[in-house]
Structure 1
Amino acid sequence: MKVSHKRTFFALFLAGCVLAGYLLWLSLRPVDIVAVHQSHHYSDVLVKTFPFTDKGKINWWLKNKDRLKSRYDIPRPASYGNYTVIFWDFGDGYTETDGYDRLCFTDMQPPTNCIEKDAQLYVGYTTERGEYFILESGEYDINNSGKIQKRK
């Protein structure tokens, strides 16, 4: 192998290692729960550093569901059993309403009580369907054997 090919190979290899290390670091960061807003059986959870893959988001929920219940009382089912938990990217933090497309929380005083709508994970439960997940790529259900499958 010529010296120039060795240098090119080494540079590409080094860049690949740096990229792999960065992706590993991203996947291992702890999720930062900034705030929780609840209304009846709906919970809005504001997060930073949420997993970036659909599988990572769902697995994070399944792994941390008991801890979220004990620490934040999430989920908070209705008397008939249904609940909704939506994880939102906290982004640049609370901001003022734009009068149109921001999510504003009534349990906070305006004017800085809104966030940009950037849902990361929607977790729902109905007595008919069981627990399900809605992500940008589609909907997922947990089948009778506990396996997560994409809804058709």
Structure 2
Amino acid sequence: MAAALLLLLCAGAVLSSVEAQDSYVQLSDIYKKGVDLALEQLASHSSVQHHFRFLRTIAESPLESGFGVSYIYHHFYLKPTTCPKGTTDTNAQRCRFRNDRPLMDCAVCYKAVGDHIQDQPNPYVHCIQKPRLTVEMKTARMDHCKKMSYSSGAPTLLAVSKTS
């Protein structure tokens, strides 16, 4: 009985890891680039000790403003792995998720032309451990992203209008 329970637990862990990697693979190229931008920023911090992998999307709001220009807002979770920071992409597939560390809650917004992130306005990346995320931080994220799309004169999906 205990062996069957252990087998079931191991199978669940493997499926969870495969599902998370599949979710990254299923992202469009422009969303992958935003996730990669967040991963690069995390890796650049000296306090970050582990390699992270994409877990899942929480929210996304693409806004097409014409001529191949879009404004992307992507809210997602990253999960720490057993691999050390600096693990290369080819080795990252072998990195198992850690369940003893909190998720990293990330939001990115940026202007894209085709499948390329533009330098202006500067892409916005905000990642923090999920338990430390406050309502004020969430509001600041949304406000920053709204200003980014408004500054170029584009309408935004983040601003909802009601019709009577």
TM-score, length basis structure 1: 0.30
Q: Which has the higher contact order (CA 8 A, sep 6+)?
A: 2
Bigger helix share: 2
